[in-house]
Chain A
Amino acid sequence: MENKLLVGKPVSRLEGFEKVTGNAKYAAEYAAPDLLYGYVVNSTITKGKILSVDVSAVLELAGVVKVFTHENRPGLAWFDLQYADMDAPPGTVFKPLSDNKIRYNGQPIALIVAEDFETARYASTLLKFVFEEEPFDTLLTQNLEKARNPKKGMSTPLKPPPPKPKGDFEKAYKNAPFQASGDFLHATEHHNPMELYATTTVYEGEGKLTIYDKTQGTINNQLYVANVFGLKYKNVRVLAPYVGGAFGSGLRPQYQLFLCVLAALELKRNVRVVLERKQMFSFGHRPQVVQSLRFGANTEGKITAMNHSAVGETSKYEDYNEILVPWSHKLYPAANTLFEYKLAPLDLATPIDMRAPGGVSGMHAIECIMDELAYKLNIDPLEFRLRNYSDIDPSTQKPFTSKELRQCYEKGAEKFGWNLRNPKPASTIRGNKLVGWGMATGIWDAYQFPARAEAILTKEGKLEIHNATTDIGTGTLTVMTQIAADEMGLSLDEVSFYYGDSKKPFSMFQGGSAITASTGAAIVVAVKELKKKIIKKIKDIPDSPFKEIPEEEIVFRNGMVHQINQPNVFISFNEIIRANKNKVIKVTKLGGPDLIKIRKFSKATHSASFVELEIDKDLGTISVTRAITAVAAGKIINPKTAKSQILGSMIWGISKALHEETLLDQHLGKYMNANLGEYHIPVHADIPQMEVIFAEERDSVINELGIKGVGEIGMTAIPAAVANAIFHATGKRINDLPIHFEKLL
């Protein structure tokens, strides 16, 4: 009689059929009558002015409909605030085609609209700009003296400045018998989701638009379009049912959305704009960062002093922030700390959050220094972390809502065989290869945003749930259906989750590993409310057997309402609907974190990664052969999709450590490898044997379901584990990422 619970079960993705048959439609794939194609033209200079534009040759070309530049861009919203999306950092938002100024190389400066894509693209070669160039700065390492404190703004509460210093770091560090220090330089990275940024705008007439857009936030982009173009919110609908990866790049509206809507409104036609791969390097990215760390420890192997100072790159028009430096003190106690974070504004596009922003870069540096300090102390690196283990958050002195990092260390080490490790560098050899084993700790926040969900008992006695979130490949559709089904006592096929649509009840953008907790919690409260409403209704039915039964004794399972332990007292959902004059029963409810309760706690997800790699003695080529990550992230709703999230982010970690980087030519101020042939990400042949372990972690504080999120935590420990394994294999500490073979020769 009991419902088989679906939460915790490895359910296969519910949209699997659509994705393996090619039926899943992405933003560039929606048909619209008489569709026009837009092609974006980007600046070839890095800084300066457009002196003149010559569009004559373009307009002579048959098939060209219109060229938009700063010279003919219609007057739009005036105030910066109207361009500020929900993720806009402090500063002045970039407004495409608003003036003749060039702020960065690749800035969009024109949109050519034509009857077909090929004509628009060809026309771009005929468009002539005359520029006046100005000197520029693009390389972080040459502009460190420009670093200053980040400006504050609306997003500051989400990305607070580092904690205040404690004790006297300089003195404690000087007196520490064991010290480790290092400088770390990280390269620029670009998200490069496989799907190109694209928007298809359907012009519905009378200031009404239906927009298929690649985004992580349907409502974010709806508000942006309405504010910028002066349209009514209800007349702008943004849909993103399928999103071909985003990894943070879709947290803000990208410029193809602005340009596509501009053209559709001006021409009163349906328009599509798709970026090319090289243009995927012309907006946000993971910034270059420089970090300096100094950690000191006493003879018992306890950390006494920690300093982590970082300078990140931002643009000249916005102050993009990362939470980069405070992580060590969320893990390790120390009486003396000094954390500093500054920004150097450069003539580049504003960076944007990229998978585990700040966390993965900061933790790489922290956990490499931890490894070095362990070696200085002559303690096993894992043992060193255990000696400095803290059950509470040392930086706030608050307890964690839950923390099972110890389990991650133990389970991961056991599976990996860590106790067999000979600590001596370059001690293990396999044929012509040096073998290295490294480990590191990972940490990430456990965010939850407010969200609204609508729950409907349909005429067929099934459950519908509506929420505006996207599913960017995270498994959101599947996990939300599982959560709703359990709450209502239904099977998976009796529940439909509708999402990816700004018309649905509120969701923040999908980022920070927050959506499973956010929308999940909203679904739980909405369905609970729906059940209350249903109970009220069945009590009102004449001769209802439920009249005298207290609410706590009424349960929902198998599509029916029962009295607990009384199988004979029941009413089916179908009968309830009939009694309700065949009308649906629905509620909409807001869910969110219990801020008063949560305030007394710190919250985080944790992980431990163990990596084995081989390095060719002659060529220096590095290949990861084994990687294990143990994760403590609260309740795992779906171990199958959650495991995929962790595996994917482990590959991202390996990629950051060993593969990807966008190379900047400082003389031209532009990226040199803006294509997938030269921007290296791991291919199938690079993928090691990988394992994921989920620690048992019960969290009764964080939210209704104990969910903490799994999108980024799997990435944060990997780069340091890789770098530490390289040290173990070779005795060389290479701090700058990515580590390519030439650094080992």
Chain B
Amino acid sequence: MRSSPLWSIMLTVNRKDYELEILPWVSLLDALRDRLKLTGTKKGCDHGQCGACTVICDGQRILSCLSLAVMKNGSEITTIEGVANGSELHPLQKAFIEHDAFQCGYCTPGQICSALGMLTEGKAQTREEVKELMSGNLCRCGANAGIIDAIMEVKKGGDHE
């Protein structure tokens, strides 16, 4: 198996270019976590059922466990590590802290990336719609109310870009 051909790919992650020699069955999630050591993106199921691995790929939120890294050759990816501007947090990150929108913090990177993607999609207008369109991101700690409060605050402020 190890003699299988390595694929050369390029990923732009958080505005930085990475060249990777990678086996074709490595998921984007494992490539980020194990190869690029960007462990902010979480693995909660590896099956597209929890949302913990959500990243923004070419402007859209995707589940990185359901993509192979080789499929994303040439893509531009933002992970949780790329959401803040240095030590200046994004308004959504600040709102998460303010609204206590996490407990253990394990679902948090996925919630934040998913919320940023959802806000860009522009489909959800009301709180109920936001809840619905964020429902792919599970939180076992039950920090749900704080998460939705934080998103609504940023959405109202209009500063999610």
Contact A31 B97 (CB under 8 A): no
How near does chain B come to A671, taking the closest CB pair, in angstroms? 15
Q: Is B84 at the interface (CB under 8 A from chain A)? A: yes
* A1-43 to B contact mask, C-beta < 8 Å, 1/0: 0000000000011011111111111101101000000000000
How near does chain A come to B37, taking the closest CB pair, in angstroms? 6
Within 8 A of A (CB), among B82-136: 83-84, 89, 93, 96-98, 100, 102-109, 112, 128, 130-132, 134-136
Majority DSSP secondary structure for residues of A touching B: loop
Within 8 A of A (CB), among B25-51: 25-26, 30, 33-34, 37-47, 49-50
Contact A63 B1 (CB under 8 A): yes
Q: Which of B98, B131, B140 contacts A687 (CB 8 A)?
A: B131
How near does chain B come to A48, taking the closest CB pair, in angstroms? 29
Q: Which of A473, A649, A677, A682 contacts B144 (CB 8 A)?
A: A682
Q: Is B142 at the interface (CB under 8 A from chain A)? A: yes
Q: Which of B41, B97, B142 contacts A649 (CB 8 A)?
A: B142
Task: Report A-chain residues with C-beta under 8 Å of the C-beta of B37.
Answer: 31
Q: Is B79 at the interface (CB under 8 A from chain A)? A: yes
Task: Report A-chain residues with C-beta under 8 Å of the C-beta of B49.
Answer: 277, 675-677
Q: Which of A16, A21, A196 contacts B43 (CB 8 A)?
A: A196
Contact B30 A117 (CB under 8 A): yes
Within 8 A of B (CB), among A151-180: none
Contact B81 A193 (CB under 8 A): no
Sorting the interface of chain A by its residue count into under 10, 10 to 19, 20 to 34 or 35 or more gives: 35 or more
How near does chain A come to B45, taking the closest CB pair, in angstroms? 4
How near does chain A come to B63, taking the closest CB pair, in angstroms? 12
Number of A-B contacts (CB under 8 A): 181
Task: Report B-chain residues with C-beta under 8 Å of the C-beta of A21.
Answer: 40, 80-81, 83-84, 89, 93
Task: Report B-chain residues with C-beta under 8 Å of the C-beta of A16.
Answer: 96-97, 102
Q: Is B52 at the interface (CB under 8 A from chain A)? A: yes
Provide the bound-state CA to CA distance between A242 and B96, in Å. Answer: 18
Q: Which of A63, A243, A247, A474 contacts B2 (CB 8 A)?
A: A63
Task: Report A-chain residues with C-beta under 8 Å of the C-beta of B128.
Answer: 685
Interface size counted on chain B using CB atoms at 8 A: 62
Task: Report B-chain residues with C-beta under 8 Å of the C-beta of A195.
Answer: 42, 44, 104, 106
Contact A62 B108 (CB under 8 A): no
How near does chain B come to A627, taking the closest CB pair, in angstroms? 11
- Look across to chain B and name the residue whose beta carbon is closest to the beta carbon of A14: B97
Contact A245 B103 (CB under 8 A): yes
Q: Is B145 at the interface (CB under 8 A from chain A)? A: yes
How near does chain B come to A549, taking the closest CB pair, in angstroms? 43
How near does chain A come to B58, taking the closest CB pair, in angstroms? 20
- Look across to chain A and name the residue whose beta carbon is closest to the beta carbon of B135: A683
Known: A475-B103, A685-B132. A20 touches B93 (CB 8 A): yes
Contact A17 B144 (CB under 8 A): no
How near does chain B come to A685, taking the closest CB pair, in angstroms? 5
Q: Which residues does A use to contact B, with CB under 8 Å?
A: 12-13, 15-26, 28-29, 31, 61-63, 115-119, 122, 192-196, 242-245, 247, 274, 276-277, 472-475, 640-641, 643-645, 647-652, 675-677, 681-685, 687, 690
- For the complex with contacts A25-B39, A277-B50, A473-B102, 16 further pairs of A-B residues with Cβ separation under 8 Å are A16-B97, A26-B42, A118-B30, A122-B1, A193-B106, A194-B138, A195-B104, A244-B104, A473-B104, A475-B103, A648-B142, A650-B142, A682-B144, A684-B131, A684-B137, A685-B128
6 contacts between A and B (CB under 8 A): A23-B40, A474-B103, A643-B100, A676-B45, A676-B47, A684-B134
Shortest 6 CB-CB distances between A and B: which pairs?
A: A22-B40, A244-B106, A473-B104, A648-B142, A473-B103, A19-B105
